[in-house]
Each structure stands twice: as structure tokens, then as C-alpha cells.
Amino acid sequence: MITVAALYAFTPFDDPARLKGPLARIACRNGVKGTIILAPEGINGTIAGSRDGLDAVLAHIRALP
């Protein structure tokens, strides 16, 4: 079963490019696909995968500084 999650959060990121690699690795490792936009003013995206995969990616996002 595939689950889809749409997400956004307005939160300042000093260096959003620095967040890209770790986020991509956790998504790949968990079979999650989609688009995530990282910008100085926050994050926006739509991702899809197994529920466990989405939980792992969302936990990583929630833990971002």
C-alpha cells in the first residue's frame, strides 16, 4: 500500500542546501519518492511511499533545527 503525504512548514533554515543530502538519503533508504522544496523560509513537499517509510522521513523532518 502506498501512502501520500503533503507537507509544509514555515520555519527559517540558515542553509537549506545543507539539509538536502541527509534528507535525500533517508528518503532513498526508505523507498520514499516525491518532491521536497527546501528554502530559507521553510519546507514544502509531497512524498509517497510505505507508511513506515513516510514515518521515517517525517520524523527526520520534524527533528530538523
State pLDDT tens for residues 15-36: 999 999 999 999 999 999 999 9
DSSP 49-62: E-HHHHHHHHHHHH
**Rg for the chain (alpha carbons), in Å?**
11
pLDDT at residue 44, rounded to an integer: 97
Percent of the chain scoring above 70 in pLDDT: 100
Helical (H) or strand (E) element with 42: strand 42-49
Kindly tell me if the per-residue pLDDT of 59 is higher than 90. Answer: yes
Quote the mean pLDDT of the chain.
96
Model's pTM, two decimal places? Answer: 0.91
Q: Identify the bridge partners of residue 7 per DSSP, sorted by sequence position.
A: 45
